[in-house]
Amino acid sequence: MDKVHVPVLLKESLNALNINPTSFYIDCTLGDGGHSIEILRRLNSEGLLLSIDQDRYAIDFVKRYYKDEIKSNWHIVESNFAKLDEILLRYERKPDGILIDLGLSSRQLEKSHNRGFSYLKEEEPLDMRMSMNLEVKAKDLLLGLTEKELTTLFRKYGEERYANRIAKEIKKNITDIDTVGDLTRLVYRVVPAAHQSSKNPSRRVFQALRIAVNDELNSLKKVLDISFKFLNSKGRICVISFHSLEDRIVKDYFNSLAVSGEGVLLSKEVIAPTEEEAEINPRSASAKLRIIEKI
């Protein structure tokens, strides 16, 4: 069973957490476990690691792949990180460091279990649910939202220039849209060839639908508030984001804490992958790491 996902900004995020072997750390996005396992390896028997993921397939993979390294001080919980406050009520100690990696794992893109996260998987259905407990799928949004509402969605969450044209074409051809390929081909028809870069022109539409299905931005706002509230003094929150909507939320929140005197920004500039990392792992190229320490 080959491991697919390469953890982004691994060295930088571990350094940012400033790990103490006896302390309590949280990885809010377990994914393939790349960040979590390295945190665990730096803890002794008194240290504690809590890893959270709402994707049952990710948790199943980690428990199989790392079965020989899982110890009693590594707690793995299936949940949305927006419910971190409920989870932390089970613990008597406060976390000293919290990592939130907002990227999709390579496994979710390449082995999505028929959920249609990648616009390259043409035969897959338009699902896009991280948790199978969610009721609304991407296709449900295409069916249920009006042309105007879809336009707003693509502009707000995808920053899509041709949102109106795409929404209009979707509603006109909705009975013919069932799979990833159906949607990507429609977007290719709508977006002018002169504005089609080397990247798939449907990527922004897919981003917008995935964000909406999983309520990603509201969940991010919630977990930031909860994390800072429960964090120990001198504890740190490290967030790795991959697009401007996420990064803006993190930047604004961290700046507000710094201005109020509740936190200290530990890097004046955002931390990005080195040229070497971006070359080895192209998916890391857009990653941004921000760090704040609680006063």
Q: Which residues are annotated as a binding site for S-adenosyl-L-methionine?
A: 33-35, 53, 81, 101, 108
CB atoms within 10 A of CB 169: 17
Binding-site residue ranges:
33-35, 53, 81, 101, 108
**H-only helix segments in 98-202:** 106-110, 138-144, 147-158, 163-172, 180-190
Give the CB-side neighbour count of residue 79, counting CA atoms within 13 A.
17
Contact 242, 286 (CB under 8 A): yes
SS3 74: strand
CB atoms within 10 A of CB 252: 11
| Contact (Cβ atoms closer than 8 angstroms) between residue 39 and residue 25 | yes
By the 10 Å C-beta count (0-12 exposed, 13-18 middle, 19+ buried), 128 is classed as buried
The DSSP secondary-structure symbol of 281 reads: -
Neighbours of 120 (CB within 10 A): 12
